[in-house]
Amino acid sequence: MPDPPPLKFRSEPNEQAQQERFSVSQTCAVCCRFNYWNVSSKNSVLVRELSEMSERMRIASVKKLSIEKRNDQLLEKVHNQTR
């Protein structure tokens, strides 16, 4: 019985395998960049919305204090007139 031919191992991968790895790595890189851009965009939108909400809250607080002060003045005026 003859011996089977020896296995031949290539020391370097063939060109098609290199191209496949390159295209897979490029696809992963593109996906990562897109995800980073998407998250970054959403973050900037959220930061802007938070800033706008904080400003509205500050304005509402100032208005509330003004109304409370005016209410106290009117109550004091009513108490002084009833005496």
Query: What distance in Å separates the CA atoms of residue 54 and residue 48, rounded to the nearest whole number?
Result: 10
Structure-block tokens of residue 24: 């897979």
Between 23 and 66, residue with greater pLDDT: 66
Confidence band of 6 (pLDDT split at 50, 70, 90):
low
- The model scores a pTM over 0.85: no
Look at residue 73 in the predicted model and tell me its pLDDT.
Answer: 95
Structure-block tokens of residue 13: 């991968």
What's the pLDDT tens digit per position in 42-51? 999 999 999 9
Mean pLDDT for 44-62 is: 97
Query: What distance in Å separates the CA atoms of residue 60 and residue 66, rounded to the nearest whole number?
Result: 10
Query: What distance in Å separates the CA atoms of residue 55 and residue 49, rounded to the nearest whole number?
Result: 10
pLDDT at 58 > cutoff 80: yes
Between CA 29 and CA 39, with CA 35 as vertex, the angle to 5 degrees is 150
